Homo-oligomer: A and B are copies of this chain.
Amino acid sequence: MKRWIALILLTLILAVPLMAFAEDSVPTVTGNAEAISAVQKNADFLWTLVAAFMVFFMQAGFAMVEAGFTRAKNTVNIIMKNLMDMSLGAIAYWAIGFALMFGVSKTGWFGTTGFFLSDYAADKDPWTLAFWMFQVVFAATAATIVSGAMAERTKFVSYLMYSVVISALIYPVFGSWAWGSLYKGSGWLEGLGFIDFAGSTVVHSVGGWAALAGAIVIGPRIGKYVNGKAKAMPGHSITTGALGVFILWFGWYGFNAGSTTAANTDTALIAVNTTLAACAGAFGAMIISWIKFRKPDATMTLNGTLAGLVGITAGCANVLPGSAILIGLIAGVIVVLSVVFIDQTLKVDDPVGAVSVHGVCGAWGTLAAGLFNADGVTMKMIGVQLLGMGAAFLWVFPTAYILFRVIKSTIGLRASAEEEREGLDLGEHGLAAYPDFQAHTEPTGAGI
């Protein structure tokens, strides 16, 4: 019996050093495991935020693309619109949009908790803020797409209005269907297995279909269709537009690879797919424009780059690099055909091609995410992808159409004809974008 006691005492003595690790500042196995989680969490925050900053920078890209691809007399206006859709949009998303998109949802149709970032006020969980930061720049992306399609003729105050509605309502409601469960929500579409990793549909098609509704309701620019023929109205600076495309491409790495919202090794495939699709998109659009117009068209090629990026956004995490090249290449071809079709057949005036780039190629990308799924494709999968694409159109186009009609019949949607001819910069803002340079007068060409 004494020996038993001695035995137990001895083992306890031997155990003391191990237990000592549990004391303050002495490492333990459990404490280490917790510390590892904390470091990984810090890395997740780091990546999510850096990616968010890159996506924010896409606002500069959109501003430059839209400014460069429109005429010099409307530059101040388009820049103000891009600046304000972010500024007002972010505040609207803080107040309302985030709650509708990611709040607790009983129906699967929209969330109902978390207005004014009240989740953070309640739990002080910094992840709420990091996640919001990443999402708010996505909302701003959706909103900003519309300004390009309605450029050079939309009243500034009306723009502000619909921009807020898109950020606060139209975008978040669809977003909740596809992505709600990323936070506290639960959407009916994601429940079916809808694949849209970074938002070919959720962000780009939504923006694109709203842009289509807007371009239809507001009608073409003065002089765009003469005797039923579409006239080219070239943008005032290819340099500015190209810079915008490069900035968007750069930011898109945050958009796609950041959608992991975690620092992990999945980001590598996403980055490679994003790169190859953008490259193939540029190549595809260049070749088609070369064939169709006899010359490699710069505007089309630049839009082809964006088309490739939009196209890979849904499937960037679930297709192989070879497939990414194909997806991008097809997107580049589609965008050229779509721009020509919308411009010349439908006679809808979309100055920067936003509907084709974001709406049409967003739809293509969503389909492609199913078709090229690395683990194989089923009919059901394609069905769900088509359902999601259709749902986006059926939610966004009618609501945006009604919104634009309501604005049109109340405060008015369109600037006066005189203001449009003179340029919105002077009429709406009292300031020319380039006062030091001589402009061509109207008859000498594309005109200012």
Contacts and interface: CB of A to CB of B under 8 A. Distances in A.
A27 to B, nearest CB: 3
A434 B39 contact: no
Interface string A211-242: 00000000000000000000000101111101
Contacts of A45: 263-265, 267-268
Contact of A436 (B266, B295, B440): B440
A315 to B, nearest CB: 15
B265 A130 contact: yes
A239 B238 CA distance: 13
A283 to B, nearest CB: 5
Interface string A293-304: 111111101100
Contacts of A84: 282-283, 286, 301
Interface centre among A40, A54, A86, A434 (most CB of B within 10 A): A434
B29 A269 contact: no
Contacts of A283: 84, 87-88, 91
B87 A242 contact: no
A95 to B, nearest CB: 10
A107 to B, nearest CB: 28
Contacts of A130: 265, 267-268, 271
A121 interface: yes
Interface in A318-338: 320-322, 325
A446 interface: yes
B438 A440 contact: yes
A276 interface: yes
Given A54-B53, A298-B76, A321-B120, A236 B434 contact: yes
A101 interface: no
Interface stretch (A60-68, A174-182, A348-356): A60-68
A382 interface: no
B14 A279 contact: no
Contact of A49 (B42, B60, B268): B268
Interface string A404-445: 000000000000000000000000111111111111100001
Given A27-B33, A53-B253, A294-B430, 12 more contacts: A3-B3, A32-B36, A42-B43, A42-B265, A90-B275, A91-B325, A133-B268, A236-B435, A238-B431, A238-B434, A239-B240, A298-B429
Interface of A: 3-4, 6-8, 10-11, 14-15, 21, 27-33, 35-36, 39-43, 45-47, 49-50, 52-54, 56-57, 59-60, 63-64, 67, 71-73, 75-76, 79-80, 83-84, 86-88, 90-91, 94, 116-117, 120-121, 126-127, 129-130, 132-133, 136, 156, 234, 236-240, 242-243, 245-247, 249-250, 253-254, 257, 263-269, 271-272, 275-276, 278-280, 282-283, 286, 293-299, 301-302, 305, 320-322, 325, 428-440, 445-448
The 8 closest A-B pairs by CB, nearest first: A27-B33, A60-B246, A129-B268, A130-B268, A87-B279, A72-B436, A87-B282, A126-B265
11 contacts: A6-B7, A8-B10, A45-B264, A56-B275, A63-B246, A67-B242, A83-B305, A84-B283, A117-B322, A120-B321, A133-B275
